[in-house]
């Protein structure tokens, strides 16, 4: 089966043979590949990279590594290696309208912040929460698996315990990030229903 990737992802994943990467590493490689060709923000690139990773993960072309780290790593599967990829043809839709830069506003302490009425911020934070929730579920599953392995093979307790504690620590950190973002979202006005 022939699969298609956009030119920048094709260049990074196929020609550049990027493997065992985090979403942020893929994002940074895509940014380097695109250089100044687009007006996308860092967050836009992150969303694109994450969507591609999820699509490849769902298709069985990538696997999430079992390595315990704060950020999940993704490796190409044998199916990825055996697949035939082609560059997706991009259609030129004419010149893009430049984005209007987000104007910072001053808060009491004099530090700039983005306006809270900006719906893009809320969408980005919602997306970030969803990303962290996926990572949290993965980390919790990992912790549960270490517990199951310990119950099945008690003789491996010394080897399993540090991994279990580290995965539990990662889960706690991710949960803290989710709670922080949710508290920010709770203080933001909801978008009016059209």
Distance CA 131, CA 48 (A): 13
pLDDT reported for residue 96: 46
Listed in sequence order, the DSSP H helices in 59-156 are 78-82, 119-152
| Domain 1-89 indexed as CATH 3.40.50.10470 | no
Per-residue pLDDT at 59 exceeds 80 = yes
Helices 157-186 and 119-152: crossing angle in degrees, nearest 10, is: 160
Mean pLDDT (the chain, rounded): 78
Whether 108 shows a pLDDT value over 60: the answer reads no
Report residue 155's pLDDT band, with 50, 70 and 90 as the boundaries: very high
Q: Write down the pLDDT at residue 101.
A: 45
Residue 168 has pLDDT above 80, yes or no: yes
pLDDT band for 153, please (50, 70, 90 cuts): very high
Q: Are 184 and 125 in contact (CB under 8 A)?
A: yes
The answer to whether 46 and 27 have CB atoms below 8 angstroms apart is yes
Model confidence at 130: pLDDT above 50: yes
């Amino acid at each position: 089966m022939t699969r298609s990737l956009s030119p920048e992802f094709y260049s990074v994943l196929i020609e550049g043979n990027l493997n065992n990467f985090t979403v942020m590493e893929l994002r940074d490689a895509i940014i380097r590949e695109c250089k100044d060709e687009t007006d996308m923000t860092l967050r836009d690139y992150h969303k694109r990279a994450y969507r591609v990773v999820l699509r490849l993960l769902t298709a069985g072309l990538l696997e999430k590594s079992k390595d315990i780290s704060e950020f999940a790593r993704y490796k190409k599967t044998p199916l990825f290696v055996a697949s035939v990829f082609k560059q997706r043809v991009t259609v030129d839709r004419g010149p893009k309208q430049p984005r209007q830069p987000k104007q910072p506003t001053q808060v009491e302490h004099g530090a700039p912040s983005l306006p809270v009425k900006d719906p893009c911020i809320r969408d980005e934070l919602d997306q970030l929460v969803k990303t962290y929730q996926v990572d949290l579920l993965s980390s919790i599953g990992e912790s549960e698996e270490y517990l199951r392995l310990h119950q099945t093979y008690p003789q491996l307790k010394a080897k399993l315990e540090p991994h279990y504690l580290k995965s539990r620590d990662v889960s706690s950190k991710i949960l803290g990030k989710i709670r922080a973002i949710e508290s920010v979202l709770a203080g933001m006005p909801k978008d009016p229903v059209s």
